[in-house]
Amino acid sequence: MAIGSGATVVMADWCADDPMIQVSPTQVVYLTNYADTQYLASLQAVQYRVLATYSDATGALHVTLLIYIPNSDEGQFDTRYVISTGPNGSGNVLATGEGPSGSLIIVRFVLPN
């Protein structure tokens, strides 16, 4: 798996990491993940892999993405994510969700043509 790195934002009680992911030779998306501030190191250690892509008859790109945010030294914690066409959840939001750290998250989304 590729390890993502990108912009990091820390606020009073939450933090975010924002790696850019190449999903095709000409298209990128941003994976913005969020958790409480004490879990910043785990967010920055996010791992992801594009599992599959295909284009449909309209030219839209269908993507299946695997995300893994490791547990902290304290154990499992709650995470949220946004996949979008711009950094920090901007642009076209393609998928959102939440889940526990330390587990694999599979996300499917479509990049319109």
Q: Where are the domains of the chain?
A: 2-111
What pTM was estimated for this model as a whole? Answer: 0.85
pLDDT classification of 9: cutoffs 50, 70, 90: low
Integer Cα distance of 65 and 107 in angstroms: 5
Integer Cα distance of 96 and 54 in angstroms: 21
pLDDT at 4 over 50: no
Phi-psi map region of 49: left, alpha, beta (phi>0 left; psi -120 to 50 alpha)? beta
pLDDT at 51: 96
Q: What pLDDT, in 10s, does the model give residues 71-88?
A: 999 999 999 999 999 999
Q: What pLDDT, in 10s, does the model give residues 17-69?
A: 889 999 999 999 999 999 999 999 999 999 999 999 999 999 999 999 999 99
Asked if residue 79 lies in contact with residue 99, where contact means CB atoms within 8 angstroms, the answer is yes
Nearest Cα to 93, choosing from 101, 84, 102? 84
